[in-house]
Structure 1
Amino acid sequence: MIRALIFDFDGLIFDTETIDFETWGAIYASHGQVLDHAQWIVGVGTRGAFDAAVELSQRLGGQPSAEELRELFVGRYRTASLAAPLRPGVVALLQQGRDMGLPMVIASSSDRGWVDGWLAHHEISHFFQGFRGREDVAHVKPAPDLYLSASAMLGVPPAECLVFEDSPNGMRAAAAAGMRCVAVPIPVNAGVALPPVALRLGTLADMPLAEILARVDPAEAPAIIGQK
């Protein structure tokens, strides 16, 4: 039985990941370079696995520096992010979770200030009963620490928590924590191979929460459900 919902943030609720990829892609192109998607995705949902600024600076012989490239990125990224909406179905699903009395928390490899700022900007902070971020654990995703910490905070066993994730690293973290996972990949990663999950959706608008819960509950459906 599912008794709690745990959500990733970047990419799942608010698609910062696509904005990140497209912004860096434009910066790479302006310097005559191509950002390799396969290389970039290694860093999605975790920290320190790939640094687009360092990679580009190294390709260009150190000029401009990684710090200068990051400054360029931040301005463009911020402008694009402020204009971007939440992903489809997010608010409706959160409302359904609240109406069903399910506690909901966020577990993100980002820091609390980053996530809190965007939750406030989109006026959805009130849906969540807690947060676990990189400052709360020794290891971020794909390690299970964030999800186990969220489970402990809620007082709900991992097997009774349902995770919603967009990145392969996050899905691996959920599996390592012993939690079932609903995969909702961002469009820019639609063709990427994913780890085994309980259910895959195109967006959170694809089906109501009650149906999602019925499909991931082992008493109601197989452990691995086919692609939707």
Structure 2
Amino acid sequence: MALRAVIFDFDGLILDTETPAYTSWQETYRGHGAALDRELWTANIGTHGWDAARHLEELLGRPIDHAELRAARLTRHYALIDAEVVRPGVVGWLNEAKELGLAVGLASSSGEQWVGPHLERLGLREHFAVLATGDRVQRVKPDPALYRLALDSLGVDPGDAIAVEDSANGIAAAKAAGLPAVAVPNAMTVELDFSRADLVLDSLTDAGIAEVAARLGL
């Protein structure tokens, strides 16, 4: 097997932080008499730039207190995330990577102060040799910078690694960096276009690393 490394996304792949994020913003919008469009939200999963608070302000046609709104929304967001557990198959993939002697990295548009504590809480931090996070690059996904950083840090060529993603922006970033990419959609991203992915799995429990590598010709 030519495969030398597996690089995981975080939000929505390892831990479903995306459903809680959408739910908390959806509740916030409803509290102001507005509606959060699901398609608009999902189109921006995996990247930064779109501002939900500013969009709400535009819908209302009046200014809002962004700091107060974000503080209340985050409290709800964190409460919902605390009820989440590691997504199915993740631990199995991490254990198989160790058994196969593969390097394991993470490429996330989120910052290390978000990713790191969650990995520690879940007992997964020790599995990752590299955390390529959004605070370490100038541009996040769909730009390939995060994957290039992860590859450089692991000392692995793009063709010798697999990217595992849950969002279309993540798949675009991995492909732009030259990696074969596996999509594992979640409840929030299942309707997105994953035609650029080399393989789409309903869950990481559907196939292990060795099987996926064989299916991708690695």
Moved more, 59-68 or 124-133: 59-68
The answer to whether the aligner puts 1:33 opposite 2:34 as a matched pair is yes
Residue 121 of structure 1, CA deviation:
0.6
1:1-228 counterparts in 2 under 5 A? 1-48=2-49, 50-217=50-217
> Does the aligned pair in 2 maintain the 1:171–1:195 contact within 8 Å?
no
TM-score of the superposed pair, with normalisation by structure 2: 0.95
Residue identity (%): 39
2:78 match: secondary structure? helix
1:172 alignment partner AA: A
- Separation of aligned partners in 2, 1:131 and 1:68: 31
**Secondary structure at 2:29's aligned position in 1?**
helix
Alignment gaps of 5+ in structure 1:
219-228
Amino acid of the structure 1 residue aligned with 2:14: I
For 2:188, what is the secondary structure of its paired residue?
A: helix
SS at match of 1:87: coil
What secondary structure does 1:163 align onto?
Answer: strand
Distance 2:168 2:155 in 1: 26
- Residue 97 of structure 1: how far off its partner (Å): 0.8
Rounded Cα–Cα distance in structure 2 between residues aligned with 1:20 and 1:195? 25
Q: Which moved more, 1:177-186 or 1:32-41?
A: 32-41
Deviation per CA, 1:169-226: give whole Å up to 9, x if none. Answer: 11000110010000011112212222411110111111122111111126xxxxxxxx
Q: Could you state the TM-score of these two structures normalised by the residue count of structure 1?
A: 0.91
Give the root-mean-square deviation of aligned CA atoms.
1.3
Question: Structure 2: how far apart are the matches of 1:200 and 1:138?
Answer: 29
Letter in 2 for 1:32: G
Runs of 4+ in 1 over 6 A off after TM superposition: none
Q: Which runs of 5+ in 2 are unaligned?
A: none
